[in-house]
Amino acid sequence: MHKLELEGVEVKGAPRRKGRDWCAQLHVRGFDPNALQYACEFILHLADVRGVRTGSIIALPSHKRLFTVLKSPHVHKKSRDQYQFKTHKRLICLYDTAEADVDQFFEELGERNPISVQIRFKKQYAAAPPPPSL
């Protein structure tokens, strides 16, 4: 586990949440599981710094794509190479946060997007969101 440190930034610690009352989700995917874990920890740290309440990192099933390539197209048909792309996925839910704060968090995360991962945002407000924090 990596500990991230930002100098001169006060961390507002909020307890982790569980359940279905989320207001936004982050779907994070990548080929390297170590880079993916580091990116998820960075997202959680950034959320703590900004005061956005998050849940823990949820591991989703990985997706595997297999390829078989012939080494020689003519005589040696049984001689083949096999390759695979394995995509690892994680889910982070945001809870009880005003829409303006979530938009600001998404904008900052877009500016500081971790390398070698893809982040997809999904927002939902079923009930009235709480008032924005000052």
Question: Do the Cβ atoms of 114 and 35 come closer than 8 Å?
Answer: yes
Domain regions of the chain by residue span: 22-123
Contacts of 38 (CB under 8 A, 6+ apart): 2, 114
* Dihedral pair phi/psi, residue 41, rounded to 5°: -65, -35
Q: Where are the alpha helices (DSSP H) in 9-94?
A: 33-50
Confidence of residue 119 (pLDDT cuts 50, 70, 90): very high
The predicted-structure confidence for 32-82, as pLDDT tens digits, reads as follows 999 999 999 999 999 988 888 888 899 999 999 999 998 887 888 888 899
Reported as a pLDDT band with limits 50, 70 and 90, residue 129 is: low
CATH number corresponding to 22-123:
3.30.70.600
